[in-house]
Amino acid sequence: MKDIKREKPLTFSLPRRIKRLEELAYNLWWVWHPEAQRLFREIDDLLWEQTYHNPVAFLRDAERSRLNAVIHDRYFLDKYDQVMREFDRYMNEKDTWFSQTYPELSKELMAYLSFEFGLHESLMVYAGGLGILSGDHLKESSDLGIPLVGVGFVYTYGYFSQRISEDGWQEAHNVPIDFDSLPLIRLLDENDEPVKIAIDLPGRKVYARVYELNIGRVKLFLLHTNLPENAPNDRQLTDRLYISDLELRISQEILLGMGGVKALRALGYEPTAWHMNEGHSAFLSLERALEYVKKGLSFEEATHKIKETNIFTTHTPVPAGNDEFPLWLIDKYFVNVWSDLGLSRDDFINIAKVKQSWGGDAFSMPILALKLSEFRNGVSELHGQVAREMWSFLWPDKKDEEVPISHITNGIHTETWLARRMGILFSRYMGADWSDRLDDPEFWAQIENIPDDEIWRVRRHLKRKLVAYIINRGRQQWKNDGVHPVQTIASGVLLDPYALTIGFARRFATYKRANLILQDYDRLLKIVTDARRPVQFIFAGKAHPADEPGKLMIQEVYRAVKDARFGGRLAFLEDYDMNIARYLVQGVDVWLNTPRRPREASGTSGMKAALNGVLNFSVLDGWWREGYNGHNGWPIGDDVSESADPKEQDKADALSFYETLENEIVPLYYEQRSADNLPADWIARMKENIRTLGGQFSTRRMVKEYMTRLYHPAILNGFEERNGNGKAE
C-alpha cells in the first residue's frame, strides 16, 4: 500500500467507555455477528429500526442520554467487552485457513471485480442475486483469510425503491444515497487530495473518486464519478445500477474494468490474479494488456500473461441475457485502445465478435472474458453444462463436454443468513465452534441433537416474527402513505402466523414464472382457503424498470393478491431487499422457486431458506438439481430434458406443483402431528434438509473451491511470471 490517508466522514462524541463502537460501525464485520448488532439495538431499538440497521447513521443520531445510560449497565458493558474482544481476535487472527493451507502465498493478492455487491440492506449498491453472491464472497474470503480486494461502484441512487400502485403497477423511486451516513472511508493521497483515477472516454477524461469499505479483513474499493471536474453527463455515470442506455453502459464497464485496474494501481496494489464476476468487468484485460504493451511486450505476449492469471465466472445461461455492444460503439470508444495495443480494428473486434440473431456483428463481453481467461466457470453443475454448449463455438475443435468451462456451485455466507436463534441452537447442541466447521459434514450431522420441540419452537417464533414485521409495515404504510385499504390488505396485514406459509421472492424476470401457481386459479383458491388447512403465499421482488413483461407479471400476481376470495392469504411485500429477504428465508415454512429450466443458473435464496429449516419446493434447476435428494424438500417436475414448447412445460410444471402441494406438503404439515402436537415427519424432513444442504451450499465450501481450483493455479502462474521462470519478461 502506498502512503494513503483514511478519513471517516463523521466522528462521533461517544462516552469513552464505549468509544470503540465507532470502529465497529466502520467495519461491516458486525453484519454477520448478531451479538454486535444487538449492542446497537440495546442502546435504542427504535432508532436502530429508523436508521435501517445502519450503525453510522445510528451513532450520528443516538441521544446522549441513551449512550450515557448503557455505560452504567453492567450487563451491556459485559456484552460490549465480549464483542470487542471477538472483533479484535478476528481482525488479528494469524492462523486462518488460508495462512495454514498456503503459507507460501502470504504475499500474494487476488482482485475481485463486480458491478454490484450485496453486503447489507443499508448499503444499496446491489440489485439482486449477483450482488449478494459478490458480497457473500467477500465476507467468506475475510473469514478464510484469503488476501483479496474487491472493486465496484458506489452509486448516487443505488437500485430503485419499489412501490406498487393500487392497480398493481410497479413504480420506481430513486432515492439518493447519503454517503456521509455510510461506512465509506475517504482515501487521501500524500498531498491530502482525494485518491482519484482517470479513464479515457471519447474526447475527454473522466475522473472517479475511490472510497474504501471494510468487510472484516477484506477491503472493497468503490468508484464514483459525481465530481465537479466531470462534465454533467459523466457525473451521472455512477448514478444507478444496470442502466439500459448503451453509451452509459459501455462507459460504466470501461470504468469498472479499466478503471478498476487503475484504482488498485493508484493505491499501490499489485494483484497476482484477477477474478471477473460476470462479464461486466471484462475490459480489465485491455487495461492489463496496455500495461504490458507499454513495457514493450507485443499484444500476443501480453495476452498470454493476462490469460494465465485471469478468472472468469459466467452467470448467464441464455445468449440473449449476455452483455453485448454494437460495433459502432466499439469504434467510438476503443479506437485509441486498439492502436495503442498495436492492433488493427479487425484484430481487435475479432477478439470478442459475436453474430447476433438478426445477422449483424456485436462485441461480446463474456466472449472477451472467456478468451482472455484461462480459468472459467459456471455456477452450478447444470449451468456448467449449459455454458459449455452455449460457448462451444469458441472451441470448434472440441466436443461440447470438453469445452474448458468448469463449474463451482454457488453458496451463501452462512452467518449472514442464519437466524440468530438458530445460531443459538447450533451453539448449544452442535458445539460452540460451529462457525469454524461449516464445511464439515460431521458438524451438520449433529442437527439430530437438537430436540424436536426446541427447533420447532424457534421455527414458530421466526414465523410469528415475520408476520408481526409484515403487519407493522402495513400499518405504517396505511398510516403514512395514504394508500387504498386494499393495498394495505395486499401488503399482508391479514396473514395468519399459524398457517402453512410459502415464500416466493426474487427478481420478477418472466423466466422465473411467479405466475405459475395461478395457472389453475380455482384449484389454487381451494388450496389457499381450506378452512382446516389454510395455505398462505408471500411474494416479493422487483422487475427491472425497463422490463415491461416483468412488470406485467407483478401486476398479474398483485391482482390475485387483491382478490377478496383469497381472504388476505396472499401477500405482496413491496421493495424486496436484503432485510425482507432475511425475514422471509428465516420465517416461512416452504420456499418456492419456479424457473423455466435451465434458466436459473444457480439461485441462492433457496439455500438461505434451507439453512434456516425452510423446506424447498422447486423446479430441479440450478443448485436445487444438485441439492434435492428425495427426502430434503420437494421437486417440481422432474430432472429430464425440457419440453420444446414453453406453454406445455408451464402446464406440466403447474400440475406437478398443485399435486405435490395438495398430496404431500399440506398433509405433512397439518396432519401428522404427534402426541405433543409436533409435526414429527415435517421436522424430520427439515433436519434432513439442514443436514444435507447447510454445508454443501455454504460459501465456506464455495470460496475454498475457488481458492483451490482457480485462484491457486492462477496465483502460481503469476508467481512464476514474476520470478522469471519460463516466459520472457
Residue ranges that bind ligand PLP, judged by CB under 6 A:
128-129, 132, 506-507, 576-578, 581, 603-605, 608
Beta bridge partners of 209: 196, 224
Please report where in the chains the cell 432485510 appears, as a residue.
Answer: 579
Residue 497, preceding bond cis, omega within 30 degrees?
Answer: no
Based on CB atoms, which residue is closest to ligand PLP, 511 or 670? 511
- Residue 582: CB minimum distance to ligand PLP, A: 7
Please report where in the chains the cell 430513486 appears, as a residue.
Answer: 174
Please report where in the chains the cell 512464476 appears, as a residue.
Answer: 720
Kind of pairing, strands 218-224 and 204-215?
antiparallel
- Residue 508: CB minimum distance to ligand PLP, A: 10
602 and 622 in contact (C-beta within 8 Å)? Answer: yes
Based on CB atoms, which residue is closest to ligand PLP, 611 or 666? 611
Based on CB atoms, which residue is closest to ligand PLP, 411 or 679? 411
End-to-end CA distance of the chain: 24
Based on CB atoms, which residue is closest to ligand PLP, 415 or 577? 577
- Residue 411: CB minimum distance to ligand PLP, A: 12
Q: What are the angstrom distances between the C-alpha of 375 and each of 148, 283, 637, 706?
A: 17, 16, 34, 10
Based on CB atoms, which residue is closest to ligand PLP, 247 or 575? 575
Q: Which grid cell sits at 197?
A: 483515477
299 and 270 in contact (C-beta within 8 Å)? Answer: no
- Residue 663: CB minimum distance to ligand PLP, A: 26
Length of the chain: 729
Based on CB atoms, which residue is closest to ligand PLP, 124 or 297? 124
Q: What is the DSSP letter of 159?
A: S
- Residue 578: CB minimum distance to ligand PLP, A: 5
Beta bridge partners of 376: 312
Q: Which grid cell sits at 196?
A: 482519484
- Residue 603: CB minimum distance to ligand PLP, A: 4
Based on CB atoms, which residue is closest to ligand PLP, 523 or 597? 597
Burial of 157 (0-12, 13-18, 19+ CB in 10 A): middle
Based on CB atoms, which residue is closest to ligand PLP, 132 or 349? 132
Q: What is the DSSP letter of 373?
A: -
Based on CB atoms, which residue is closest to ligand PLP, 573 or 666? 573
Picking from 497, 568, 571, the residue whose alpha carbon sits closest to that of residue 539 is: 571
Number of H helices, E strands in the chain: 31, 22
711 and 110 in contact (C-beta within 8 Å)? Answer: yes
Q: Which grid cell sits at 79?
A: 456484552
- Residue 579: CB minimum distance to ligand PLP, A: 8
- Residue 678: CB minimum distance to ligand PLP, A: 30
Q: Which grid cell sits at 51?
A: 436508521
490 and 561 in contact (C-beta within 8 Å)? Answer: yes
- Residue 191: CB minimum distance to ligand PLP, A: 41
- Residue 199: CB minimum distance to ligand PLP, A: 30
**DSSP output for 99-153:** HHH-GGGTT--EEEE-S-----TTS----SHHHHHHHHHHHHHHHHT--EEEEEE
Based on CB atoms, which residue is closest to ligand PLP, 603 or 679? 603
Q: Tell me the C-alpha distance between 547 and 542, whole Å.
A: 10
Which residues have a Cβ under 8 Å from the Cβ of 53 and sit 6 or more positions away?
Answer: 37, 40, 120, 121, 122, 579
- Residue 708: CB minimum distance to ligand PLP, A: 25
Strands (DSSP E) contained in 452-588 are: 500-505, 535-540, 570-573
- Residue 241: CB minimum distance to ligand PLP, A: 13
Based on CB atoms, which residue is closest to ligand PLP, 34 or 194? 34
Beta bridge partners of 324: 364
Q: What are the angstrom distances between the C-alpha of 289 and each of 282, 367, 373?
A: 12, 16, 13
One-letter amino acid for residue 287 of the chain: E
For the chain, how long is the longest CA-to-CA vector?
Answer: 80
Based on CB atoms, which residue is closest to ligand PLP, 98 or 417? 417
- Residue 635: CB minimum distance to ligand PLP, A: 16
Based on CB atoms, which residue is closest to ligand PLP, 187 or 573? 573
